[in-house]
């Protein structure tokens, strides 16, 4: 019997604020960070997972992950991994931790890190990448692990099984299709951070075109004149056939969002992302009605599946941008994918942050193979930052995520990177203090 013998949680922070990577109208100086969980056993198996933050406060998420993981120590690995639905429900029902949420904020981020590590371990035990582990599960098995609590007015268990059964006979065909086309389509945000100079913006946009991207995204919302100038540069470089998305990162009130997007409409944005508060369902619906045919996208700060249920029910969004480290891992993510299928809303996951690209490639591949069965108007985010710190980094070629082949959730970080960027005593941060 293999047993979980310990849990180590690292507060890992990268100084991305120095180069303005990740800068936007709301978050001007973020240091991409991860509350990184390692589940240790008395055998060769381990599990790796994380949640994403942008610097100060990452230690709070790390502590929340420790609190969630503590009940796993001493437990039989096979018993845990054979019942990931039950383990999820057990950890989610911890009344004292739940009181601090419930199912939102720091506590939910910590839950995501721990469950991500368990799903990584399950994939490693099976010897397959996570997307394939999920694609090989039966509809009943998938629904058994999905968190469908509070959703029955939008999606019942029987409906969920039926949606998955519809796609099950042709899963292999879609895997073959992705392999033939070179992977799952993605867009790049790497050119569009708000803190970049016009010269850097122009250069990176040209590189994106040269690398085969048909979709690019720019940050907006700090200054309208600057946005008009930057979007004009973007159209000069990428032309008018490529899709151009814009992202306000929640900085506007609803009327301001409508007015600002109207002023940028001449550049034909494909979508406006996070136009207002991520919790404002009716506000998103109002923006969507006013700015159509420009689409409305949101979800990276969608706190839980219930918020997504309301966004779908209200017809508030055109694109669902769930986040692999804010929702409580695969169990909750499955529920959102299934609702998106029922309400016919494309899922285009958020991936702007350390390690998120590594995770979401698995989710998007699984969605196409087993849930949506479609690539129509679907594209997943990619940012070209910090992949060198992962054991199994994502690979993007010609604007596509190449299908991961290594066992796991691609979440394991290099030990040297953890040692260097652990906060506050890793090599980089200790050196920075010495110089200050």
Please pick, among 270, 341, 350, 362, the residue that the annotation labels catalytic. 350
Task: Answer whether residue 23 shows pLDDT above 80.
Answer: no
Q: What is the pLDDT of residue 352?
A: 82
- Mean pLDDT, the chain, rounded, equals 96
257 pLDDT tier (thresholds 50, 70, 90): very high
Mean pLDDT of 414-422: 98
Mean pLDDT of 159-168: 98
Strand pairing partners for 40? 6
Q: What is the pLDDT of residue 22?
A: 63
317-338 pLDDT, tens per residue? 999 999 999 999 999 999 999 9
Q: What is the pLDDT of residue 30?
A: 85
Mean pLDDT of 7-21: 90
**Catalytic annotation present for 342:** no
Backbone angles phi, psi at 152, to 5 degrees: -65, -20
Q: What is the pLDDT of residue 19?
A: 77
Mean pLDDT of 388-415: 97
Please pick, among 219, 284, 387, 389, the residue that the annotation labels catalytic. 219
Q: What is the pLDDT of residue 267?
A: 98
Task: Answer whether residue 305 shows pLDDT above 90.
Answer: yes
377-396 pLDDT, tens per residue? 999 999 998 999 999 999 99
Mean pLDDT of 77-82: 98
Burial class (CB in 10 A: 0-12, 13-18, 19+), 72: buried
190 pLDDT tier (thresholds 50, 70, 90): confident
**Catalytic annotation present for 243:** no
Report d(CA 404, CA 176) in Å as an integer: 14
């Amino acid at each position: 019997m293999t047993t979980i013998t310990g849990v180590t949680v690292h507060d890992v922070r990268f100084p991305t604020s120095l180069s303005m990577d990740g800068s936007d109208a709301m978050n001007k100086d973020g240091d991409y960070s991860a509350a990184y969980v390692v589940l240790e056993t008395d055998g060769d198996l381990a599990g790796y997972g994380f949640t994403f933050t942008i610097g100060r406060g990452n230690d709070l998420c790390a502590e929340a992950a420790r609190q969630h993981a503590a009940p796993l120590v001493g437990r039989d690995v096979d018993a845990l991994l054979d019942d990931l639905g039950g383990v999820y429900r057990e950890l989610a029902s911890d009344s004292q931790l739940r009181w601090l949420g419930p199912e939102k904020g720091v506590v939910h981020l910590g839950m995501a890190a721990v469950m991500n590590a368990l799903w990584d371990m399950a994939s490693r035990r099976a010897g397959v990448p996570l997307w394939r582990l999920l694609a090989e599960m039966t509809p009943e098995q998938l629904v058994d692990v999905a968190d469908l609590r509070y959703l029955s007015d939008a999606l019942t268990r029987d409906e969920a099984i039926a949606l998955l059964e519809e796609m099950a006979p042709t899963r292999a065909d879609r895997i073959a299709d992705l392999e033939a086309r070179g992977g799952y389509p993605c867009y790049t945000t790497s050119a569009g951070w708000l803190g970049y100079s016009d010269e850097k913006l122009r250069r990176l946009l040209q590189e994106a075109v040269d690398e085969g991207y048909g979709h690019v995204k720019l940050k907006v919302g700090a200054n309208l004149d600057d946005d008009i100038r930057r979007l004009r540069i973007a159209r000069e470089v990428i032309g008018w056939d490529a899709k151009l998305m814009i992202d306000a990162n929640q900085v506007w009130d609803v009327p301001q969002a409508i007015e600002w997007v109207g002023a940028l409409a001449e550049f034909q944005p494909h979508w406006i992302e996070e136009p207002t508060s991520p919790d404002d369902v009716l506000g998103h619906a109002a923006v969507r009605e006013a700015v159509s045919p420009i689409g409305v996208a949101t979800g990276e700060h969608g706190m839980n599946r219930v918020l997504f249920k309301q966004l779908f029910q209200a017809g508030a969004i055109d694109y669902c941008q769930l986040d692999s480290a804010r929702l409580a891992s695969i169990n909750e993510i499955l529920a959102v994918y299934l609702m998106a299928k029922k309400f016919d809303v494309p899922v285009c996951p958020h991936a702007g942050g350390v390690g998120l690209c590594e995770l979401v490639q698995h989710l998007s591949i699984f969605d196409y193979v087993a849930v949506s069965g479609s690539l129509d108007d679907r594209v997943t985010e990619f940012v070209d930052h910090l992949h060198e710190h992962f054991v199994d980094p994502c690979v993007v070629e010609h604007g596509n995520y190449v299908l991961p082949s290594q066992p796991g959730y691609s979440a394991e970080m290099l030990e040297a990177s953890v040692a260097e960027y652990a906060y506050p005593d890793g090599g980089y941060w200790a050196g920075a203090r010495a110089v200050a």
